[in-house]
Structure 1
Amino acid sequence: MFWKFDLHTTSHIDTLLEKEDVTLTEVMDEDDVLQECKAQNHKLVDFLLRPQCMEDLVTFITQEPSTDVEEKVKYKYPNISCELLTSDVSQINDRLGEDEKLLMKLYGFLQNEPPLNPLLASFFSKVLSILIGRKPEQIVDFLRKREDFVDLMIKHIGTSAIMDLLLRMLTCIEPQQLRQDVLNWLNEEKVIQRLVDMVQPSQDEDRHSNASQSLCEIIRLSRDQMFQVQGCSEPDPLLATLEKQETVEQLLSNIFDKEKNESAIVSVIQILLTLFETRRPAFEGHMECPPGMSHPSFSVNHSILEAVRPRLKDFHQLLLEPPKRNVMKTTWGVLDPPVGNTRLNVVRLVASLLQSNTHSINTELINLNTLGVILDMYFKYIWNNFLHIQVEICTAMILAMPPAPTDTQPDTDQEHARESILIKHLFQKCQFIQRIMDAWSSNEKEQVEGGRRRGYMGHLTRIANSIVHNCDKGPNGPQIQQLISELPAEDIEKWEAFISGQLADTNKRNTVDLVNTHHIHSPSDDEVDFKDSGFHQDSSLQQAFSDYQMQQMTSNFIEQFVLILHDWICCLNITEKIQQFEDAGSDEEDIWDEKDVTFAPEAQRRPSSGSTDSEESTDSEEEDVKRDPFEASNPSTDDRMEVDAGWCARALQVLPEAGWSASPASASNSETGWADFSNFTPVSPKDPLRCNSPVAMETSIETMDPLGVNAPMQPEAEEEKACCEQRSITETVINGSMKETVSLTVDAKTETAVFKSSGQQNTTQACKTSFYSRSG
């Protein structure tokens, strides 16, 4: 066993640390230094805790490596130093978190001029983050004493590792009160306002992106914290500052009152989209709130909407005149101008504003005809699926949402009398129905001429289905029906024909049957169903099909019957093995080895495999010779196999009587090792079956044609009935005190074959197998 060998090897580090003049770099050069440190090797930890070693470790991750060092090993020691300091060894955390000199050396990295080395910044952020998690009180107290900490964080916000560190301070401080103190401290330092100032055209794209992402994460983290911590007495001050109207107005002023900059515009829209985020309900046909929640809990802060509403005209103008972009050549043609990230995000913003379902916002969008411009873009840029899905979301929400309450009519009691101004605008001003049918007809015309199917057709199908669904079952169904009825008669006729024709055909093609309910007629899995084929069903073809099916059934019947007997013999032999194991007692002989069985001359009987649990069994196992249990019968080699072949042969006697021949199996017996059945011939029902086994048997036999195919007509009604219904074979085997009856019954009506074996020890084995069970 493994404990017999001394597999424990002493680390080379232990030997190295015994040297008096060993250096830190020598230890760091060892391959297993990190594993030994995480395993808290006492010698190694004590060595690393030396003041000079700790100082050198911090120096490695805060100072640029020398330019003379080879490039491939330039950051080797800084990387190993970071891993050692963040190995989560309590002694190292304590020393680093409580030694202010080491913290000041670590903090000095932030005082470098931007841009910071991104790799060293990641090392610095990782070390300080684990200290915030393990020593929150000490680290927060240290950072609050540094007056320039927030300034330095904002200064280096363009470095992603510094942004991660800022977010870590909001998420990894465990005591709730300490976290609240940190939030209040950062809010007092005006961290939100400083991040907002970073999102303006004068800053670079890295600052735009990281500042925007920081604000978005602050919003999400604060809202998640509010849901997780129920009954929190103090609101999140950073979220409250972000949702103020003046903060949102400052964001919008940064991008609209100065030169247009796509990076800044997209970053501000990302912040607005996060502010508009609610736990979005599904819009498939109708709007719902999650169970147990109400709409007010998920509504957008009114101050945000009030700040955005006056700027809707500026967003609308961005759709008409986006920031200049170069002409884009694609495989489908030239885009001049392309959609661009700006316009795509403006459409996303419009979709979020529509979800708020605010009357003042909806009215402003209608006055500007923003929806009409968005539809124009939808049909112009036929391959931009990012745009198509946003337009589909807009139309689906307009069709499914109830009318927005107004200031003069906030009560919902008269909701049935109100109408959606957005739906009215969509159907009348934007000519929604007509544009859908025109686009569909134009696409079909192009396809007929050899063109490709337009990229928006899938979304257009879903939009048309949404109209039909909401017209029938949606909350605005009566209004939609009324608007459609007000269309010109020609358009109404086209729309109805389109719904029942082109749209219905498309929906039918898009429907996939996941379950095939076709009735299986054949016992074979590979059989082809000719009845449902496209061939003409004349009489000659039907006869050919019937002949083919009969051949398949005949071949399959013989194959399945032989396999049934094969499995039954296996079952009998396995039962013999099990009984030998049970009767072996303390005998050391290998009971699983194949042995020749010799019977007494006066009672040469094959012992029943189904009843070998008799304590009086006289089996003699003289030779340890393994044999194939399905080897061909040979009286001089294996009497036991001959007995199996004998009763199997009598079982297969029914095949020639039913019109099937066993000659294919017997012709290849020398190759396959099966028993030879070639000598069996059909017999009449009144003739007794003769066992081919040389072993004398006490056998009572009764035979009948299993399917009644070739049986002669009997004058007696009882014999005719019995002949058509079943045939059976019964065999009694005696071995000393053991007696077992083995029977085979074949029923043509139920198409089943039943094998039964019953012995003196009350052991019964029965196998009822359908002729077609293997293929069904």
Structure 2
Amino acid sequence: MFWKFDLHTTSHIDTLLEKEDVTLTEVMDEDDVLQECKAQNHKLVDFLLRPQCMEDLVTFITQEPSTDVEEKVKYKYPNISCELLTSDVSQINDRLGEDEKLLMKLYSFLQNEPPLNPLLASFFSKVLSILIGRKPEQIVDFLRKQEDFVDLMIKHIGTSAIMDLLLRMLTCIEPQQLRQDVLNWLNEEKVIQRLVEMIQPSQDEDRHSNASQSLCEIIRLSRDQMFQVQGSSEPDPLLSTLEKQETVEQLLSNIFDKEKNESAIVSVIQILLTLFETRRPAFEGHMECPPGMSHPSFSVNHSILEAVRPRLKDFHQLLLEPPKKNMMKTTWGVLDPPVGNTRLNVVRLVASLLQSNTHSINTELINLNTLGVILDMYFKYIWNNFLHIQVEICTAMILAMPPAPIDIQPDTEAEHVKESILIKHLFQKCQFIQRIIDAWSSNEKEQAEGGRRRGYMGHLTRIANSIVHNCDKGPNGPQIQQLISELPAEDREKWESFISGQLADTNKRNTVDLAFSDYQMQQMTSNFIEQFGFNDEEFADQDDVVDIPFDRISDINFSLNTNESANIALFEARCKEKIQQFEDAGSDEDDIWDEKDVTFAPEAQRRPSSGSTDSEESTDSEEEDVKRDQFEASNPSNDDRMEVDTDCDGWLGTSVASPAASAPSDCGSSKAEEEASSSEHRSITETVINGSMKETVSLTVDAKTETAVFKRFENHLHTKELRFRLMVMRVVPVPLVVLCPSVPLLMLHHIVCLPELITAV
């Protein structure tokens, strides 16, 4: 259609470029300059390739705009220049990558003093990154000639765009050999050591964060490359330098041998967590791990663990004395001190160290009682779910991991510990079972007194379930069973009572489906029987007891009282909206949309409704019934029959508010009395098919009292199990959902009525 009607507009750039004195800014002011450039408009590309234009484009992205320029257009030309230079036009890439003068002008941006303009830095980084990808040999050769390149990169590492440029050099260079040469060059320039030096208290937070992120990405990228290129003969020199024991020791020395600085501490922990990362296997069907735990495809470098082990006491001390944090007021209360980012990351580090399952590390953690301190924090900070999930991961791994092998000593063979020293420490020293029971009981007491449920209860439930699971099926099951049996008799009884009572009930509630389960069906049946006093035999298996009457249903009164003005207005509004006739009765003059009074014939004048005995016939007519209006005029030719969907086997849904008062009704009135009722009592009788049985329902609407009353149910219900169904007819446009408070059938999941009638939920 676009081309059919010739709606495209002709670019003014061609006309503009015909001027002899046209300037670059005039061309850049054109709205479609970028589109024309990407479409490789020959006139435009030739114009941009002029030496002066190329130099001006580079100048725009490397020099600060004049302060006199209005702020909203201050970076207009630098932005457009960046887009033109990175528009993937090969002629522009060739000219910029091969002209050393232009490259030097571009490179001069790094020689500015920090901090760099972050927007210009992003333009510079984008242009140079594109050149690295398009012209890797030329750009790498140019950068290696600049002796201060690595120095300047480290100097400006606090600017995120410069950090991105460094990482692009590790990922965008496609030839494998050239990439290896770049890695060797950067390693010779000691880029890893220089980044490590940036993470110390004397530097600012931006340098901490970006240097840490750079080292983390180098680790991940190098390991990814190792897995992708299996036949690579040369190891990654940057990764090897990072995994050296002296490198890790230098990182730890930066944060522990100087003043405490949270930013530096967190940045170093992030690097350690990346070094401890393991990978999941690529095949399916592997054994399920505890939360946060993965199957290692390679072990953590032993030199890293050896560097960390002597510093565990320093990390433990951070849990006891973190960097000073100001008191924090929350909606729950005052936190003095709050958990803080430092302690949270120390707990994450402990979880990673536990995953390595190293005997020397485990022994040191036990000697320091680090797990006991972490559990103290768990129960103290009841609303910090970041902390709770890490503690859950720690306990899950301790319970699920096999015992750690003892460190191999010279001239000895490796042997394995038969029992987990961590589990023994957890159950005996940390009193794991007792603390769970005490916390649970304390929470229930607070809730009984009107308090709130503690924030860690969900995690505590999973921790308790992990104990039960590993006790029965885990690799440490016999040891856990033995430790539980050694508990004092009182604690052991409390635990057994807890797992069979409170924990089991909680699990049952947590595993209930959205649909009604058998347990919910039993509960609702029980509640119904308790309120209405049915005998058990009335709910017996109907295969054995076919003739049990269901007459007590007649004692249930559904009364709708709409004396309140709001309900009256609602009733009238729904009537006006829903009882309009959609048949013009052959008259062209009558407007079917005009509001008219609707009159109802007495029951005797209405055509009797005949329920079909064939369930298939009822089903086939459902589509027609849905389209039929709730009320129809009293026309002898019209079929007033309203079929009811009898496939509603399920119990009727959840509870609703029921402000209406119950009005007495004579549920045993005879059919003759119903036919003798005045026109003010509008009665409709329907026969509902239920398998091979019939069920008659009579609904009477009293216009004076404005109440809707179910008169009686006749015959029997025949079902294999109890499926008590209250069929609300689609015949009365009143909020039938407003039920009597005394009626327990506040279950409306399968109620057979139009959605618009359910107006008072």
Tell me if both proteins adopt one fold, taking TM over 0.5 as the criterion.
yes
Task: Identify if the C-alpha distance between structure 1 residues 247 and 184 changes in structure 2 by more than 3 Å, giving closer, same or farther.
Answer: same
Give the superposition deviation at 1:10.
2.5
C-alpha contact 1:405 1:412 (8 A) present in aligned 2: no
Which has the bigger relative contact order, CA under 8 A and spacing at least 6?
Answer: 2
C-alpha contact 2:86 2:127 (8 A) present in aligned 1: yes
Give the superposition deviation at 1:299.
1.2
Task: Identify if the C-alpha distance between structure 1 residues 281 and 386 changes in structure 2 by more than 3 Å, giving closer, same or farther.
Answer: farther
The whole-number CA distance in structure 1 between the counterparts of 2:644 and 2:709 is 20
C-alpha contact 2:37 2:87 (8 A) present in aligned 1: yes
The whole-number CA distance in structure 1 between the counterparts of 2:409 and 2:240 is 30
C-alpha contact 1:13 1:44 (8 A) present in aligned 2: yes
Q: Which residue of 1 aligns with 2:467?
A: 467
C-alpha contact 1:607 1:734 (8 A) present in aligned 2: no
Q: SS in structure 2 opposite 1:324? A: coil
C-alpha contact 1:110 1:152 (8 A) present in aligned 2: yes
Give the superposition deviation at 1:230.
1.5
Q: Which moved more, 1:292-301 or 1:93-102?
A: 292-301
C-alpha contact 1:328 1:338 (8 A) present in aligned 2: yes
Deviation per CA, 1:386-412: give whole Å up to 9, x if none: 000000000000000000000359999
Give the superposition deviation at 1:664.
34
Give the superposition deviation at 1:298.
2.3
Task: Identify if the C-alpha distance between structure 1 residues 560 and 338 changes in structure 2 by more than 3 Å, giving closer, same or farther.
Answer: closer
Deviation per CA, 1:32-52: give whole Å up to 9, x if none: 101101110000000000000
Task: Identify if the C-alpha distance between structure 1 residues 281 and 428 changes in structure 2 by more than 3 Å, giving closer, same or farther.
Answer: farther
Task: Identify if the C-alpha distance between structure 1 residues 598 and 60 changes in structure 2 by more than 3 Å, giving closer, same or farther.
Answer: closer
Q: Which residue of 2 aligns with 1:127?
A: 127
Give the superposition deviation at 1:71.
1.0
Give the superposition deviation at 1:228.
1.1
Task: Identify if the C-alpha distance between structure 1 residues 559 and 389 changes in structure 2 by more than 3 Å, giving closer, same or farther.
Answer: closer
The whole-number CA distance in structure 2 between the counterparts of 1:248 and 1:221 is 19
Deviation per CA, 1:625-683: give whole Å up to 9, x if none: 99999999999999999999xxxxxxxxxxxxx999x9999999999xxxxxxxxxxxx
Q: 1:727 aligns with which of 663, 682, 705?
A: 682
Q: Which moved more, 1:416-425 or 1:111-120?
A: 416-425
The whole-number CA distance in structure 2 between the counterparts of 1:500 and 1:616 is 51
Is 1:487 aligned with 2:478?
Answer: no
Task: Identify if the C-alpha distance between structure 1 residues 136 and 580 changes in structure 2 by more than 3 Å, giving closer, same or farther.
Answer: farther
Task: Identify if the C-alpha distance between structure 1 residues 480 and 30 changes in structure 2 by more than 3 Å, giving closer, same or farther.
Answer: same
C-alpha contact 2:218 2:239 (8 A) present in aligned 1: yes
Task: Identify if the C-alpha distance between structure 1 residues 234 and 599 changes in structure 2 by more than 3 Å, giving closer, same or farther.
Answer: same
Deviation per CA, 1:142-194: give whole Å up to 9, x if none: 00000000000000000000000000000000111111110000000000000
C-alpha contact 2:615 2:689 (8 A) present in aligned 1: no
Q: Which residue of 2 aligns with 1:216?
A: 216
Task: Identify if the C-alpha distance between structure 1 residues 751 and 58 changes in structure 2 by more than 3 Å, giving closer, same or farther.
Answer: same
Q: 2:691 aligns with which of 733, 736, 745?
A: 736
The whole-number CA distance in structure 1 between the counterparts of 2:689 and 2:341 is 91
Give the superposition deviation at 1:58.
0.2
C-alpha contact 1:282 1:288 (8 A) present in aligned 2: no
Task: Identify if the C-alpha distance between structure 1 residues 590 and 479 changes in structure 2 by more than 3 Å, giving closer, same or farther.
Answer: same
C-alpha contact 2:252 2:268 (8 A) present in aligned 1: yes
Task: Identify if the C-alpha distance between structure 1 residues 9 and 586 changes in structure 2 by more than 3 Å, giving closer, same or farther.
Answer: farther
Task: Identify if the C-alpha distance between structure 1 residues 166 and 750 changes in structure 2 by more than 3 Å, giving closer, same or farther.
Answer: farther
- For structure 1, list consecutive stretches of 5 or more residues without a partner in the other structure: 514-543, 562-575, 645-657, 672-715, 757-774
Task: Identify if the C-alpha distance between structure 1 residues 70 and 619 changes in structure 2 by more than 3 Å, giving closer, same or farther.
Answer: closer
Task: Identify if the C-alpha distance between structure 1 residues 464 and 286 changes in structure 2 by more than 3 Å, giving closer, same or farther.
Answer: farther
The whole-number CA distance in structure 1 between the counterparts of 2:118 and 2:658 is 82
Q: SS in structure 1 opposite 2:68? A: coil
C-alpha contact 1:327 1:335 (8 A) present in aligned 2: yes
Q: Which residue of 2 aligns with 1:611?
A: 612
Task: Identify if the C-alpha distance between structure 1 residues 125 and 615 changes in structure 2 by more than 3 Å, giving closer, same or farther.
Answer: closer
Task: Identify if the C-alpha distance between structure 1 residues 243 and 726 changes in structure 2 by more than 3 Å, giving closer, same or farther.
Answer: same
Alignment RMSD, CA only?
A: 11.2
Give the superposition deviation at 1:293.
15
- For structure 2, list consecutive stretches of 5 or more residues without a partner in the other structure: 533-576, 652-656, 712-759
Q: Which residue of 2 aligns with 1:380?
A: 380
Task: Identify if the C-alpha distance between structure 1 residues 722 and 411 changes in structure 2 by more than 3 Å, giving closer, same or farther.
Answer: farther
Give the superposition deviation at 1:20.
0.2
Task: Identify if the C-alpha distance between structure 1 residues 750 and 469 changes in structure 2 by more than 3 Å, giving closer, same or farther.
Answer: farther
Deviation per CA, 1:421-458: give whole Å up to 9, x if none: 00000000000000000001111111111111111010
Give the superposition deviation at 1:289.
8.3
Task: Identify if the C-alpha distance between structure 1 residues 213 and 615 changes in structure 2 by more than 3 Å, giving closer, same or farther.
Answer: closer
Give the superposition deviation at 1:231.
1.2
Q: SS in structure 2 opposite 1:298? A: coil
The whole-number CA distance in structure 2 between the counterparts of 1:739 and 1:337 is 71
The whole-number CA distance in structure 2 between the counterparts of 1:440 and 1:45 is 74
C-alpha contact 1:594 1:624 (8 A) present in aligned 2: no
Task: Identify if the C-alpha distance between structure 1 residues 153 and 632 changes in structure 2 by more than 3 Å, giving closer, same or farther.
Answer: same
The whole-number CA distance in structure 2 between the counterparts of 1:199 and 1:735 is 77
Task: Identify if the C-alpha distance between structure 1 residues 336 and 641 changes in structure 2 by more than 3 Å, giving closer, same or farther.
Answer: closer
Q: SS in structure 2 opposite 1:553? A: helix
Give the superposition deviation at 1:9.
3.5
C-alpha contact 1:60 1:81 (8 A) present in aligned 2: yes
C-alpha contact 2:199 2:211 (8 A) present in aligned 1: yes
Task: Identify if the C-alpha distance between structure 1 residues 477 and 597 changes in structure 2 by more than 3 Å, giving closer, same or farther.
Answer: closer
Give the superposition deviation at 1:279.
1.5
Task: Identify if the C-alpha distance between structure 1 residues 229 and 553 changes in structure 2 by more than 3 Å, giving closer, same or farther.
Answer: closer
Task: Identify if the C-alpha distance between structure 1 residues 87 and 452 changes in structure 2 by more than 3 Å, giving closer, same or farther.
Answer: same
Deviation per CA, 1:463-509: give whole Å up to 9, x if none: 00000000000000000000000010111111100010111111111
Deviation per CA, 1:705-746: give whole Å up to 9, x if none: xxxxxxxxxxx9999999999999999999999999999999
C-alpha contact 1:593 1:624 (8 A) present in aligned 2: no
C-alpha contact 2:406 2:416 (8 A) present in aligned 1: no
Task: Identify if the C-alpha distance between structure 1 residues 741 and 463 changes in structure 2 by more than 3 Å, giving closer, same or farther.
Answer: closer
Task: Identify if the C-alpha distance between structure 1 residues 724 and 42 changes in structure 2 by more than 3 Å, giving closer, same or farther.
Answer: same
Q: Which moved more, 1:430-439 or 1:402-411?
A: 402-411
The whole-number CA distance in structure 1 between the counterparts of 2:627 and 2:3 is 39
Q: Which residue of 1 aligns with 2:643?
A: 642
C-alpha contact 1:579 1:612 (8 A) present in aligned 2: no
Identity level (%): 95
Q: SS in structure 1 opposite 2:710? A: strand
Task: Identify if the C-alpha distance between structure 1 residues 301 and 471 changes in structure 2 by more than 3 Å, giving closer, same or farther.
Answer: same
C-alpha contact 1:281 1:287 (8 A) present in aligned 2: no
C-alpha contact 1:581 1:591 (8 A) present in aligned 2: yes
Task: Identify if the C-alpha distance between structure 1 residues 164 and 748 changes in structure 2 by more than 3 Å, giving closer, same or farther.
Answer: same
The whole-number CA distance in structure 2 between the counterparts of 1:382 and 1:121 is 44
Correspondence 1:450-529 to 2 at 5 A: 450-513=450-513
Task: Identify if the C-alpha distance between structure 1 residues 178 and 578 changes in structure 2 by more than 3 Å, giving closer, same or farther.
Answer: farther
Task: Identify if the C-alpha distance between structure 1 residues 630 and 426 changes in structure 2 by more than 3 Å, giving closer, same or farther.
Answer: closer
C-alpha contact 1:596 1:623 (8 A) present in aligned 2: no
Task: Identify if the C-alpha distance between structure 1 residues 144 and 446 changes in structure 2 by more than 3 Å, giving closer, same or farther.
Answer: same
Q: SS in structure 2 opposite 1:731? A: strand
The whole-number CA distance in structure 2 between the counterparts of 1:504 and 1:641 is 47
TM norm structure 2 = 0.67
C-alpha contact 1:286 1:400 (8 A) present in aligned 2: no
Q: SS in structure 2 opposite 1:212? A: helix
Deviation per CA, 1:512-566: give whole Å up to 9, x if none: 22xxxxxxxxxxxxxxxxxxxxxxxxxxxxxx999999999999999999xxxxx
The whole-number CA distance in structure 1 between the counterparts of 2:221 and 2:618 is 79
Q: Which moved more, 1:550-559 or 1:303-312?
A: 550-559
Q: Which moved more, 1:3-12 or 1:578-587?
A: 578-587
C-alpha contact 2:611 2:689 (8 A) present in aligned 1: no
Give the superposition deviation at 1:3.
5.8
C-alpha contact 1:49 1:92 (8 A) present in aligned 2: yes
The whole-number CA distance in structure 1 between the counterparts of 2:643 and 2:376 is 88
TM norm structure 1 = 0.65
Task: Identify if the C-alpha distance between structure 1 residues 379 and 23 changes in structure 2 by more than 3 Å, giving closer, same or farther.
Answer: same
Task: Identify if the C-alpha distance between structure 1 residues 30 and 558 changes in structure 2 by more than 3 Å, giving closer, same or farther.
Answer: farther
Task: Identify if the C-alpha distance between structure 1 residues 477 and 747 changes in structure 2 by more than 3 Å, giving closer, same or farther.
Answer: farther
C-alpha contact 2:406 2:415 (8 A) present in aligned 1: no
Task: Identify if the C-alpha distance between structure 1 residues 722 and 242 changes in structure 2 by more than 3 Å, giving closer, same or farther.
Answer: same
